[in-house]
Structure 1
Amino acid sequence: MCSKTTTGQSIRNCFSQIRQVIDDAEALVIGAGAGLSLAAGFTLNGDRFTNYFADFITKFGLTDMYSGGFYSFPNRQTYWSWWSRVIWLNRYQPAPRDTYRRLYSLIHGQNYFVLTTNVDHQFQQAGFDKRRLFYTQGDYGLFQQATTKQTFDNRPLIEKMIRAQGFKIGDNGELQKPAQLSMDIDPALIEQADQYQLNLRVDGSFVEDSGWHNAAGRFNHFVEHYGNSKIVFLELGVGHNTPGIIKYPFWQWTFNNPQARLVTVNAMDASFPAELDQQAIGLRMDINQFIDSLTAN
């Protein structure tokens, strides 16, 4: 693998090497964290936040969609007004950038599996085979009932809540803001929604349904089957919030297999243990730039 300090012509040679390593691999495991969705434009603050949540900013002083998710809202109407917008913007509205689709074009035809902590479901929307995806932390598109251990498609109910607040929805799912933002939602919709919780891993009540367990089984079988072969672990935008899910296992699987290679791409931190220097490359760069560079080789 190329050096971590390559520049200029060397960096172009580096991408050629990475492209060749991926093409020659018997298996490719993509580990995707929040940085990949940020690269696709799913920012949780800035214009994307202020455009759709100006009323929440004014009333509660909220600064972004992430921290707002922990706010103790005064009533269930406000709670579901908030979450219906967050869910629609980050699950059903098209991604601002085509990062996921370009990634799919890059690895299309490879023997791959995706492990992700993201809950926005963008892999499947971009064309990835749903039987080769393992969403470990839940899905914005699902409600759950902890008592019955079941999950439910939430789009019909979320759409009704969105429309009740005055939003319109375009043909491609894009949210169109009303002239005056409103938190009003029909109490009957709130009563229906309160039968469920969000299917997000925030505490011990998270429901790992049959679909979750089947995906986990397929992923584990894939890694076990190809664990001693020419396998590439491609880590995209994975931080240190939950390193035990993607980062640490990728390091360990690479270390245990001399034929394995690790490529980690992160705009902030692309480090890895010194023991992997001969098998790994860390690129501190924008993921879109990384995909473009590989596509050009």
Structure 2
Amino acid sequence: MPLPPAVLWGYWAVHIDDIRYDPAPNPLYQRLRGLVGDMDHWVMTSNVDALFARNGFAPDRVFTPQGDYGRYQCTTPCTPETWDSRPLVERLLAAYDPATGAVTDSRALPHCPNCGGEVEINVRVGPEFIDALYRPAGARLQEWLSASASDTRLLILELGAGFNTPGVVRWPGEHLTRHLPCARLIRVNPAHPEVPADLADRALPVPADAQHLLDALDAPHPAPKPTVTP
């Protein structure tokens, strides 16, 4: 049974405000940015929280095919346009009752600015998803990858991509590793680190999460003991 609109939008307002608009830096993402350093790189992510762009990664080098909590759209949709969700979230939170989890003022509930119909967050949940805002980044990423098709070394560092949406990150990474001669895949995943058998010599499974991997990379390593040959 669908939630009443007042409860549904109360949930979205609190969730998006916390996930998408929290101004605090994220230490894990900042450590990832430090790890990349000056290396030429791209990010492709199934996340919709903009944490990469908010923590130092160049926004024009981040491809988010699943959408962005920062936008909303007409549910129909009546137009390919999407709108900034921040004013919507602020309006909803001003009328939000934490005791009931509902928006108490029906006038705060959103409607399509174009047709007046229902709206939804601009994330991929069905065929009505409007992806026009994200396609240009995908095209630029494809151009960048095409330049790596011959002899350029490419490391695909996959972090936490499981089987909820394997077609977004996990399977494309495997495809690239198979088809680019100098590509290598590192799959970091505490639950599903396995790699296909045909990529065994070109892919490294790491049964850990990103935090543990970064901790291990930062840990001091003892110097090798000298070998004395009589």
Q: Is residue 2:18 matched to residue 1:89?
A: yes
Alignment length, in residue pairs?
A: 213
- Tell me which of the two structures has the higher relative contact order, counting C-alpha pairs closer than 8 angstroms and 6 or more residues apart: 1
Q: Is residue 2:153 matched to residue 1:244?
A: no
Q: Is the 8 A contact 1:227 1:253 kept in 2?
A: no
SS in 2 for 1:104: helix
TM-score by length of 2: 0.85
Instruction: Specify which of 105, 108, 130 is matched with residue 207 of structure 1.
Output: 130
Q: What is the Cα deviation at residue 93 of structure 1?
A: 2.0
Instruction: Specify which of 160, 177, 196 is matched with residue 273 of structure 1.
Output: 196
Distance 1:81 1:213 in 2: 30
Larger Rg: 2
Equivalent in the alignment of 1:160: 91
CA distance 1:256–1:192, change in 2 (3 Å)? closer
Q: What is the Cα deviation at residue 213 of structure 1?
A: 1.6
Deviations 1:77-96 (A, max 9, x none): 12211111121122112569
Q: What is the Cα deviation at residue 124 of structure 1?
A: 0.6
Deviations 1:180-225 (A, max 9, x none): 565233222115476532101111000012x312111111111111
Distance 1:93 1:249 in 2: 30
Distance 1:126 1:164 in 2: 30
- Summarize the alignment of residues 12-91 of structure 1 with structure 2, pairs less than 5 Å apart: 72-73=2-3, 75-91=4-20
Q: Is the 8 A contact 1:81 1:185 kept in 2?
A: no
- Summarize the alignment of residues 93-108 of structure 1 with structure 2, pairs less than 5 Å apart: 93-94=22-23, 98-108=27-37
| Structure 1: segments with no counterpart, 5+ residues | 1-70, 167-177
Q: Is the 8 A contact 2:26 2:55 kept in 1?
A: no
Q: Is the 8 A contact 1:106 1:295 kept in 2?
A: no
| Structure 2: segments with no counterpart, 5+ residues | 221-230
Distance 2:154 2:101 in 1: 51
Distance 2:51 2:92 in 1: 22
Q: What is the Cα deviation at residue 295 of structure 1?
A: 3.9
Equivalent in the alignment of 2:119: 196
Distance 1:244 1:216 in 2: 14
Name the one with the larger helix percent: 1
Equivalent in the alignment of 2:147: 225
Distance 2:194 2:219 in 1: 25
SS in 1 for 2:121: strand
Q: Is residue 2:190 matched to residue 1:260?
A: no
Deviates more, 1:99-108 or 1:250-259: 250-259
Q: Is the 8 A contact 1:264 1:270 kept in 2?
A: yes
Q: What is the Cα deviation at residue 118 of structure 1?
A: 0.8
SS in 2 for 1:249: helix
Q: Is residue 2:73 matched to residue 1:144?
A: yes
Identity of aligned residues (%): 32
Distance 2:81 2:2 in 1: 26
Q: Is residue 2:102 matched to residue 1:183?
A: yes
Q: Which amino acid aligns with 2:179?
A: N
Distance 1:190 1:123 in 2: 30
Deviates more, 1:141-150 or 1:229-238: 141-150
